[in-house]
A and B are shown apart, each in its own frame.
Chain A
Amino acid sequence: MCLRRIALRENFFSHYGRQLGTLSGLLGLVVALWALTPHFLTVSNLLNIAAQATIIAIVAVGMTFVIITAGIDLSVGSVLAFAGVVMASALHQGVPLPVALLVGLGIGLLCGLVNGLLITIGRLPPFIATLGMMSVARGTALMFTEGRPVSGFSEAFRSLATGEVLYIPTPVIIMIAVYAIAHFVLKRTTLGRYAYAIGGNEEAALLSGINVKLYKTMVYGLAGMLAGLAAILLTARLNSAQPIAGMNYELDAIAATVIGGTSLLGGEGTVMGTLIGALIMAVLRNGLNLLGVSSFIQQIVIGSVIIVAVLIDMALKRRGK
């Protein structure tokens, strides 16, 4: 009986140990900031952090899928900007709100699918294909708007960012829903299983009869569509779609993913880890702001956190073997 409980506990730890490690990092950070500043642990500030984390967190879900297949997507920040300005112009043209939202998601999906096809049919390395898309999407967004932001939207649209349900901001609810669905897709659907298999050993996946090209393309499409969703939320929050929005978001998303324990080599990773990773980055930024740390030093701190987090993760993994 007792033995069985121990075995169960070990099993639990081996499954969730890595996330527990990241989670305790997040909690440690929270405790430290609580001790350092009275303004940190207030309901309004925590909600503020969650709202700030949503955009990167949603982009990072797509990134996690891509990285699990042993790929990378550098284009999500630019795709976000492109999807945002097209959707904003559609709204200004008087397109009905639901249609405009679908346009935003659709542009993201389309860019992602193009990435996927370049990688699978064109056999380009993911780094190159998405590096190209990064520039193409950014340039198209700038050309489309002649470099100017598209601003001013209806109350209905803006409520996507400003609304609340039971005191919880709508974007946070959307983020939670995205993570719940993504977790389900990774753990319980064929798409998720195949993503792990392709990243873990593409050759073996192919020889097991998996349509590797189809599923890879779908994963990049998903990453693009989530960038489109992030574009909707960002545009609603700022009441403006900027062609220069989303700069360096791909790097923040990659950072959240690897802090969350997803291996850049592919084959392993979880979205829950990524969520914690995104929260760590948001808490850190918020805390450093509250403490009045200059933005120059903030960059140094965040960079160091990324490196230390992955060093610890790799050390834990080695010990596990």
Chain B
Amino acid sequence: MANAPVLEMRHIRKTFPGVVALDNVGFELRRGEVHILLGENGAGKSTLMKILSGAYQKSAGEIILDGAEVEIKNPKHAQTLGISTIYQEFNLIPHLSVGENIFLGREPVHLPGLIDQRAIFQAATRALSGLGLTLNPRKLVKELRVAEQQMVEVAKALSLDARILIMDEPTAALTEHEIKELFATIRTLKDKGVSIVYISHRMEELFEIGDRVTVLRDGRSVGTYDVHAKSRSELIRLMVNRELTDLFPKERAARGPEVVRVEGMSTKGGLKEISFILHQGEVLGIAGLLGAGRTELARAIFGLDKITSGTIYINGDPQRIGSPRAAINSGIGFLTEDRKSQGLVLPLSVKANLCLSSIDKFSRWGIMDTKEERQAAGRYVNELRIRTPSIDQKVVFLSGGNQQKVVLSKWLCSQAEVFIFDEPTRGIDVGAKAEIYQLMNRLTASGVAIIMISSELLEVLGMSDRILVMRGGRITGEFSAEDATQERILQCALGE
């Protein structure tokens, strides 16, 4: 196998308003190699790949393809250059057949507009068998398993003469057996001289399928290594090696009595035998990888997923929490991961959003005391320093940080005593982040208990009093803030 680099990305820099996402990042990709990109959430892997696939434009740096510099204008252009991406979410049309999907948008025709069906299925069969697959090209995509759909994506990319394939977490939704099949296909691709950039969090895969690995951290390249020259623990250290700075203004509050106790809870959402205790004034951090069951835990406590066994105690009393209303009445507030689609009613005003979960307090016989409502809204806007021209402003016009404060006020207004934060600072700029952390400090100082789910390990380490680590719907580790290190958490999250 030739070792000449097919592709080189050099000194890539990417800035978004107020943030440097990538700074002087680079790596080279050889012909027929599987090159792993390794890094924490937010390290810049996806941004780098979006630049390569044409979804983003780099701010500076150069991309060299076959020895010549190229400017990748858009995803279509990337495809014509031979760079294809297999996304986690497939871009297939479920009601069309495998063959029709592979040739979507460039169907062979008899006459303009008249599709040559036979040619499609013949070409599709060739494309699939080239990958060592025996999939029937006439089968509808919706009837395929996830792994098979992924293969269709790969076949589609190859039929576009892709020489470079980007795979972003390709095994996230696959079973053990399907992963084996995928790896067999990847090996076939390597033999054909296709180069693969492979993003995955699963360390075991890295050693099974990877040739070389480039580690990214905080938007910078740490280095490129032969996979077998490094041990797992060395790689983990390279990924996370950082000091906690005063980014996290954590103030410890006095730990009060127990507020929530969960015993042996399993749910339809996939939780298995979850038990933990949450105290007043405490931040309980929940760490884990994508799909570990962290959000499912929040949904179960908030009455959204059916609990099949186990008990939740609130202030020592067993509670049946069957709906969000019941959860709110038990003093629980849920700040969802996705503010815009779940937390806020965007076309409504700051005032209306703020009072949404506690209108009962402002109304008698269904008629609202709008004066009292306005006063309450004004109070929270002042107290939390929500930057808005008025309480009648629609929340859609507020910045991410201020939107988050509106959601927070909503639960303060409903007098929640337990706050569940799911990814509290996602998509929020650095200044607003610090403000959210300070609000958490104020909450715990006033005796509120917080469950904080976060994919940012540093945030979990920086803000928690205690940390639970989840994997596969179970709790696989518990640490006090003093004992927790990034390495130990990652080991529990990865299942070492």
Contacts and interface: CB of A to CB of B under 8 A. Distances in A.
Interface of A: 11, 15, 187-191, 193-194, 196-197, 200-201, 203-211, 267-268
A99 to B, nearest CB: 27
Nearest to B335: A207
A209 B325 contact: yes
A91 B356 CA distance: 45
Given A190-B363, A190-B368, A193-B359, A207 B324 contact: yes
Interface in B307-365: 323-325, 327-329, 334, 336, 341-348, 352, 356-357, 359-360, 363
A200 B347 CA distance: 6
Given A188-B368, A191-B366, A196-B352, A205 B359 contact: no
Most buried by B among A187, A201, A211: A201
Nearest to B326: A209
Given A189-B367, A190-B359, A190-B366, A207 B343 contact: yes
Contact of A204 (B302, B329, B344, B392): B344
B424 to A, nearest CB: 15
B370 interface: yes
A191 B366 CA distance: 7
Contacts of B370: 187-188
A190 B361 CA distance: 11
A197 B302 CA distance: 20
- Chain A facing B: main interface SS: helix
Contact of A267 (B345, B363, B366): B345
Contacts, number: 80
Contacts of B367: 188-190
5 contacts: A189-B366, A189-B367, A193-B359, A197-B348, A268-B347
A311 B323 CA distance: 41
B356 A200 contact: no
B366 A205 contact: no
B28 to A, nearest CB: 44
A207 B370 CA distance: 23
A207 B336 contact: yes
A211 B347 CA distance: 20
B14 interface: no
Nearest to B325: A209
A267 B367 CA distance: 20
A205 B325 contact: no
Contacts of A193: 352, 356, 359, 368
Given A204-B343, A209-B323, A210-B357, 15 more contacts: A189-B368, A191-B366, A193-B368, A194-B359, A196-B345, A197-B348, A201-B342, A201-B345, A203-B342, A204-B342, A205-B345, A206-B324, A208-B324, A267-B347, A268-B347
A266 B445 CA distance: 40
B390 interface: yes
B410 interface: yes
Contacts of B363: 189-190
B357 A196 contact: no
Nearest to B355: A193
A197 B352 contact: yes
A212 B392 CA distance: 24
A116 B225 CA distance: 62
Nearest to A187: B370
A208 B352 CA distance: 12
Contacts of B329: 209
B56 to A, nearest CB: 24
B368 A207 contact: no
Interface in B111-134: none
A211 B325 CA distance: 8
B74 to A, nearest CB: 25
A261 B179 CA distance: 53
A188 B373 CA distance: 11
Contact of A201 (B302, B324, B346): B346
